[in-house]
């Protein structure tokens, strides 16, 4: 069974309450919450205030993906706002310190790899991670096309002995989802695919069936 983490980056920002409701009603597993600083990636998204307000409305696992040049000071900020899991990029400043801080706060710790960063960049820290987030597009924007070279990166992480959760993010559709699951991915982030689905509950059932 694969899990589905809808990314609210693809939601209509004028109707975030409806987006949250759509996620809950669909039976999806997590809320994928993309945070961008305009420096690590060329886009700016949401901050902790939105997370806190969404948390008050819905009872789901908040999977926070920090695309920040220096995530360390924000690990505590997003923990306080209600994150259950926090993922930081191996390419960012204070990466190892951020992972240690996420653990110290009792949250699920994830490390993300840009498409150009090899799986081997996580060699030293792999045994400390609860989750690896393999970016299947260059982070920053929704609606891009998945890079098929990332199937091998997922397999490589498994070959390195990683038994934790592998999450994939960017350009995921029901056409490539079976290949991602076969390669060893556990959790599929879907932005555009989820928010454009005519029947989101059916999409969740299809992902759960993989």
Active-site position among 29, 63, 169, 186: 169
How far apart are the C-alpha atoms of 72 and 89, rounded to whole Å?
11
* 143-172: contacts with ligand DX5 (CB under 6 A): 143-144, 169-172
Q: Which of 169, 185, 186, 195 binds Zn ion (CB under 5 A)?
A: 169
CA distances from 181 to 1, 25, 101, 119 (A): 9, 24, 30, 18
How far apart are the C-alpha atoms of 52 and 43, rounded to whole Å?
21
Show the site string, 42-81: x = touches Zn ion by CB under 5 A, - = not: -----------------------x----------------
Closest CB to ligand DX5 among residues 187, 193: 193
How far apart are the C-alpha atoms of 105 and 6, rounded to whole Å?
25
Q: Which of 110, 164, 184, 191 binds ligand DX5 (CB under 6 A)?
A: 191
Q: Which of 4, 10, 31, 207 binds ligand DX5 (CB under 6 A)?
A: 10
How far apart are the C-alpha atoms of 101 and 71, rounded to whole Å?
11
Please give the helix or strand (H or E) that residue 152 lies within, else none: helix 150-159
Residue among 105, 43, 96, 104 nearest 71 (CA): 96
Active-site position among 29, 34, 37, 63: 34
Given the rule CB under 6 A, which residues bind ligand DX5? Answer: 7, 9-10, 32, 34, 65, 137, 139-140, 142-144, 169-172, 189-193
């Amino acid at each position: 069974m694969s899990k589905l983490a809808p990314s609210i980056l693809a939601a209509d920002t004028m109707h975030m309450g409806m987006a949250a409701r759509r996620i809950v009603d669909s039976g999806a597993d997590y809320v994928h919450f993309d945070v961008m600083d305009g420096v690590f990636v060329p886009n700016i998204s949401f901050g902790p205030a939105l997370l806190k307000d969404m948390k008050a409305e819905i009872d789901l696992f908040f999977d926070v993906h920090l695309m920040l040049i220096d995530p360390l000071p924000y690990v505590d900020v997003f923990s306080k706002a209600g994150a259950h899991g926090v993922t930081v990029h191996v390419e960012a400043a204070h990466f190892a310190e951020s992972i240690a801080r996420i653990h110290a706060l009792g949250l699920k710790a994830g490390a993300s790899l840009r498409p150009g960063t090899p799986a081997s960049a996580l060699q030293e820290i792999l045994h400390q991670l609860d989750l690896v987030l393999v970016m299947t597009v260059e982070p920053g924007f929704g609606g891009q096309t998945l890079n098929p070279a990332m199937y091998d990166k997922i397999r490589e992480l498994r070959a390195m002995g990683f038994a934790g959760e592998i999450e994939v993010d960017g350009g995921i559709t029901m056409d490539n989802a079976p290949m991602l699951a076969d390669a060893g991915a556990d959790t599929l982030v879907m932005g555009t695919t989820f928010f454009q689905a005519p029947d989101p509950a059916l999409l969740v059932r299809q992902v759960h069936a993989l």
